[in-house]
Chains A and B, each alone.
Chain A
Amino acid sequence: MQDTGKNIMIAGVGGQGILLFSNLLSKFYTKLGYELKISDVIGLGQRGGGVESHFRYSINPVLSPFIKAGDVDFLISFEQTETLRYLHCLKDDGVIFSSTFELSTSSVNTRIEQDMPESKTELIKNSKNKTFIVDPEKYKSSEFDISKMMNIVMLAFYAEYRGYSHDEMIQIVRESVPAKFVEGNIKAYMAGIQIAQSKIESKSLI
């Protein structure tokens, strides 16, 4: 059956490459002939603020630039506090891809607010949704640190999960990022495929 369209919520904090992620994805879906609307909500992103990108593709014209809470098919998050912020937006059969990276909030740092007592990773795992959690620290090696390129890692993970052509996606990455970053990005993409394959095959959630 043809995919008529999906709603993807992309979340994280300023500086994590969320806008590049949605830009790459938009090129991919445009090539497939879909209609798109991508709405970025950037607060003081540069200064440790949250960033969200509402990404909608459809065979019909997309109407609202915002995805209604409850209509999200895929939540792709690069920061786990931000993952929690959007859990309620997922459809019952929506899927979560979340990094365990966490940027503590200034209000908690300065004790104006209490942090949540529970483990955030556990809270995400306990949601009733299908969940894939990637801990960038686990895959970090002395020669290659994927934590700096989690947007590309997650792009590969998502593409693997959806059964998309990695060749097409890599081609888009190649065409879109500055020449000096191409090699590193492709390396991160390959690492992302491996991580995805190990998790999707073994059905392991962490």
Chain B
Amino acid sequence: MEIEDKVAVKKMMNGNEAVARGAFEAGLKVASGFPGTPSTEVMEYTQQKYPEIYCEWSTNEKVGLEVAIGASFAGYRSMAIMKTVGLHVAADALGGAAGSQINGGLVLVVGDDVGRTAGDDYNDVRHYGNMFNIPVLEPSDSQDAKDLMVKAFEISEEYSTPVILKITSVICKTTSAVVVDESLTYKVQCREKYPVSFSKVIMTTMMMNAKGSEHPKLTKCFHDFPAHMKRLAVDSNNFDINRLELKGTKIGVITSGTPYYYVKEVLPEASVLKLGLIMPLPEMLIRELAVHVDQLYVIEDGHDIMEKNIKDLGVSVVGKELFPKFPEMMRFTPDIIEEKLVAGAQVRKEMSGIPFRLPVSCAGCSHLFISQILKKHKIKAAADVTCGLIGCFPHMESYQLQKCMGSSIALAHGYNVATDHKENFVAMIGDGGFWATGINGLMNLIFNDSQSTTIIVDNSCLAMTGGQHIASSDFGFNYKPENKLEIAKICEAVGVKDIVTVDAYEYEHLEKAILNAVQAPTNSVVIVQKPCVTKFKLPKGNVHFIDQDLCTQCRKCINIGCLAIESKKGADGKVKIVINEDLCVGCGLCTTTCKFNAIKS
């Protein structure tokens, strides 16, 4: 009897799970990073399914990438997980690793929020490929995601370079079949090729200035990374992850990611170059396709990066002139391609007048209490990247300033310095943002003698991305109670003069604490505690309702921005303000706004 050594099973996986599987099959040792939609689940699947792999959520993306770089130098395959906005934070670390000697494969799994489905800005991770001259891979479905993850480690080691695996909100959230060898056992890889690995500054100094010397002290610092990338560009013409599918001669399309499948569906007769490695480009394959077809198109989500790189090769290609990018288009769909390239395609339009869903805070969220108090007392404030940023949207109007994650403390400090501290412009920050980078803003304002007030929302997790743990959480992958960091103690240690901790639901205390802090002649921090209602599923209090006989429809309560308070047209056609009993958690915030005592429990 023959013994099968492979047990191939088809499994349904989304892109995030497939990436985790690929990392496992590649013998990954260390996974680090920071949560960010859409790629957060890559870490969660890795941690849940593969206990052999060391996993950590780091304090921020830069730290996460540095952990991965250190692990890679130790000889072990490592990956850093983040979204593209997070890579902006980690860009300095990537710049240091790019073009340096790589021992264990180093792969960055970076999520692009193509289509802005989670409210991200319009970013494209491939810019980092161009800027740092490093390879970028992009899968088209889950099978591809798993396969490319394995390939990414091989490329990283063979060509001595960090590699970016670009995944998108579509790949991450699309489930399709992946062939998995269930008999495969975890095999850690270790590869110690280089005794040193320095940033390019050191290497280029050696390469350019000590060319003639063969002294081992000098040559061990040499690393001819441009030659590695040139070799990769040539080799990529023969990679099976770059696939030239020659068919009809009328239309040729160069594409990657999920748009490959839109093209295959809408233009079955077209000749297609499907790129798994999108940087560097396989020049010979592109030229072969270009001479085969009458008209060559590039169809890529995000910015016009492949388009520019192809044009730089001197190849004529149609891209954004036919398919204008942001804000005309958020992402490709099969419909858009059909409309432009298929004669007689019917265009269907959504019914007009359907109301838009602005994001709303969960009922009972501590952010609602803070937003409400700031608005009530007309206190100007900066929000951070946190669930509380919903308070910036026009249905809430609680904040005047909001930028990137961890920024609000420094933003408020800058405002106060410029206005000679005449008005105390307050910073609100989530605990996630505080640990990520906000803590730097706090230290900065102390030693620069600022009198700013900071409200830190302690909800015990990184709520916006689904409740991952942070330094002050009571849980986590590597959690030990003795290692938990206390926000109040850190604030005290860095020299904040006035620190108050309040329970968010104690409305009057909270209101007083914020007013006191704003009026205090010194720097101050108000820590607002309440575990995230969604993550921790707090026990429901008494559900509230509105006594329609007393309600004057002044709409003060509805302007809180609570998901549970709705304006509803009844059977009689009259509009009523009602509380959704399924959603109400009984926090009672709405009762503080009602002058007519119409809200009861």
Which residues of A line the B interface, CB within 8 A?
13, 26, 30, 35-44, 46-50, 62-66, 68-70, 81, 84-85, 87-89, 102-116, 123, 148
Contact = CB atoms under 8 A, between A and B. Distances in A.
Lowest 9 CB-CB distances: which A-B pairs, in order? A110-B395, A69-B348, A63-B265, A44-B359, A39-B174, A48-B360, A65-B174, A105-B355, A104-B566
Interface of B: 12, 115, 117-119, 141, 169-170, 173-177, 258, 261-262, 264-266, 333-335, 338, 346, 348-351, 353-362, 387, 390, 393-395, 534, 555, 558-559, 561, 563, 565-569, 580, 582
B362 A47 contact: yes
Contacts of A69: 335, 348
Contacts of A48: 357, 359-360, 563
A68 B176 CA distance: 18
8 contacts: A13-B357, A38-B176, A39-B173, A85-B351, A88-B350, A102-B568, A114-B353, A114-B355
Given A46-B362, A63-B264, A148-B582, A107 B348 contact: no
B597 to A, nearest CB: 21
Nearest to A62: B176
Nearest to A87: B351
A109 B566 contact: yes
A110 B559 contact: yes
Given A64-B262, A87-B351, 4 more contacts: A47-B390, A63-B261, A63-B264, A103-B580
A64 B334 contact: yes
Given A47-B359, A47-B390, A49-B359, A88 B351 contact: yes
Contacts, number: 151
A107 B346 contact: no
Contact of B356 (A105, A111, A148): A105
B395 A106 contact: yes
B175 to A, nearest CB: 4
A41 B38 CA distance: 11
A70 B348 contact: yes
**Could you say which of A68, A85, A123 has the most chain B C-beta atoms within 10 Å of its C-beta?**
A68
Contacts of A89: 348
Contact of A107 (B176, B356, B566): B356
Contact of B358 (A30, A70, A105): A105
Contacts of A111: 555
A49 B358 CA distance: 7
A87 B290 CA distance: 40
B335 A68 contact: yes
Contact of A88 (B176, B265, B349, B561): B349
A81 B566 CA distance: 14
A109 B174 contact: no
B359 A113 contact: no
A50 B118 CA distance: 11
Contacts of B119: 43-44
**Could you say which of B264, B334, B390 has the most chain A C-beta atoms within 10 Å of its C-beta?**
B334
A206 to B, nearest CB: 14
B560 to A, nearest CB: 10
B115 to A, nearest CB: 8
B566 A84 contact: no
Contact of B175 (A37, A49, A84, A87): A37
B112 to A, nearest CB: 15
Contacts of B261: 63-65
Contacts of A85: 350-351, 354
B56 to A, nearest CB: 25
A81 B568 CA distance: 13
Nearest to B466: A46
Contact of A68 (B117, B118, B338, B566): B338
A134 B115 CA distance: 32
Given A36-B177, A42-B173, A43-B117, A106 B334 contact: no
Contact of A42 (B117, B266, B335): B117
Contact of B355 (A38, A47, A64, A81): A81
B357 A41 contact: no
B174 A38 contact: yes
A193 B436 CA distance: 51
A103 B351 CA distance: 18
A86 to B, nearest CB: 8
Nearest to B566: A104
Contacts of B175: 26, 36-40
Contacts of A35: 177
Contacts of B262: 63-64, 66
A89 B349 CA distance: 9
B173 A108 contact: no
Contacts of A107: 355-358, 395
A70 B346 contact: yes
A72 to B, nearest CB: 10
B364 to A, nearest CB: 12
B173 A104 contact: no
A164 to B, nearest CB: 19
Contacts of B348: 69-70, 88-89
B35 to A, nearest CB: 14
A30 B338 CA distance: 30
A109 B561 CA distance: 9
A81 B354 contact: yes
Given A38-B175, A88-B348, A43 B360 contact: no
Given A85-B350, A105-B356, A108-B567, A26 B335 contact: no
B566 A40 contact: no
A66 B334 contact: yes
A54 B357 CA distance: 20
A50 B397 CA distance: 22
A84 B387 CA distance: 28
A30 B13 CA distance: 13
B385 to A, nearest CB: 13
A157 B459 CA distance: 40
B357 A49 contact: yes
B173 A106 contact: no
B360 A47 contact: yes
Contacts of B393: 106
A26 B13 CA distance: 11
